[in-house]
Amino acid sequence: MPRPPLPTIVHLDADAFFVSCELARRPELRGKRCAVGGGPQRGIISSASYEARAVGVYTPMPTARALRVCPDLILLPHDNEHYAKTSQAMFDLCETVTPLVQRNSIDEGYLDLGPCACASVAAVEAKVRGLVARIWEELQIPVSIGIGTSLLVSQIASKLRKPRGFVTVPVGEEAAFLAPLPIEQLPGIGKKTAEEVKARGLRTIGDVVRKTDSALAGILGRDWRQVAAWARGIDTRAVETERAAPKSYSQQETFLEDRAFGDFEDIERGLKRMLDELLVKLRADGKRARTLTVKVRYPDFTNSSHAQSLPEPSDLERPFYPLVGDLLRAAWTRRRQPLRLVSVRLSGLTEGPAQLDLFTSANEAKHRHLAAVVDRLNANGKKPRVYHGYDL
């Protein structure tokens, strides 16, 4: 007899990942109000422990404000290389369970347990609980889990009971699971859109299902069919694994609270930090990039981007840094609207590092040597005073 359908799509979301990485190295800080972020005079909080969140510290709150909200907050320096290595180790463990692993970001991704041929929901859950236990035992990283029949359902489920949540949505119960949840849990329904649709009678996901097609079209516009499908738990996307060499390198940050244009400098610094991380990977892979793209996303989930190319491809921070602010301004066309997300992408890749020759300036040679030294220090777990142009 054929096996009954099972929920085999898993969304894994590490809890307060950057802080968890630091607590794995400093377990004596567990239970305390901790945050990873910049110095007290500048910078933003990039991750806060749940104890700190309980008293009002959030990401990406300015560090100075976080210290006013929580005077006993323990600030921990950001260690990009350590977080990248921990993320790699975490997803390597995932791939011991199933070959179908999609890495969405440094701290979350999807698994498809279809190839595991589990015979029951209990068997699926047991396999996932075993993975959660291994991640904790080997890395000391707590994770939250959502299990469902689709990427959408599993992702929403993983967010409901953090930290260390574990939620399974059985086959056929997707719509009932989603129905009581706030409308903003659906993709595409940002803060501003949620306010607008709530005023027109869509307060929960179940309200979407109960509306007629004509009513949904009037409220949601041209995207009403997609929203209606999601409200029923229908999502046909598959877990995608990426094995080929990347055609670009990108990183994004979704803000916990929308950021206004007055936060421009903090957002620019965040983009440069992400650029730093991408260029470390670029050099490690022996590549150079020609084009830098900055993308912004507004609360209504519409995007805008702007790109600029260098005369020659590079793997150094110096030629890309001056572009970041101008690209952010050019992409942020709706200045009166805040941003929900920003991202940076390097493309136009070329194999091999730039070769130094008689025509290479002494200044460029100095910066290339500095970049190599800093990369080695980070790889060895040592923290240099200057990180690729930033005075920490």
For residue range 165-209, what is the model confidence (pLDDT) as tens digits?
999 999 999 999 999 999 999 987 877 888 889 999 999 999 999
Distance from C-alpha of 315 to C-alpha of 327, rounded to nearest angstrom: 19
CATH of the domain at 356: 3.30.1490.100
Provide φ and ψ at 346, rounded to 5°: -110, 130
For position 62, what pLDDT does the model report?
87
What pLDDT is stored for residue 268 in this prediction?
95
Whether 108 sits among the annotated catalytic residues: the reply is yes
Structure tokens at 74: 């323990």
Q: Given this model, what pLDDT does residue 246 score?
A: 64
Options 22, 108, 268, 277, the catalytic residue: 108
CATH (domain of 216): 1.10.150.20
Angle among Cα 75, 342, 84 to the nearest 5 degrees reads 50
Q: Are residues 203 and 266 in the same domain?
A: no
13 is known to lie in a ligand binding site:
yes
- The pLDDT of residue 105: 87
CB atoms within 10 A of CB 30: 13
Residue 112 assigned ligand-binding role: no
Spatial distance between the Cα atoms of 45 and 37, rounded to a whole number of angstroms: 4
Of 222, 243, 264, the domain-final residue: 243
Continuous segment of H or E residues that includes residue 266:
helix 264-284
Q: Are residues 356 and 310 in the same domain?
A: yes
Distance separating the N- and C-terminal Cα atoms of the chain? 63
- Answer for the pair 73, 45: CB distance below 8 angstroms, yes or no: no
Pairing of strands 303-314, 386-387: unpaired
CB 59 within 8 A of CB 22: no
Helix (H) or strand (E) holding 340: strand 339-347
Range of the domain at 296: 249-380
Residues 203 and 309 in one domain: no
Do 257 and 352 lie in a common domain? yes
202 & 257 share domain: no
Does 191 map to a domain? yes
Name residues of the chain where pLDDT drops below 70: 1-4, 38-42, 242-246, 352-392
pTM for this model (two decimals): 0.64
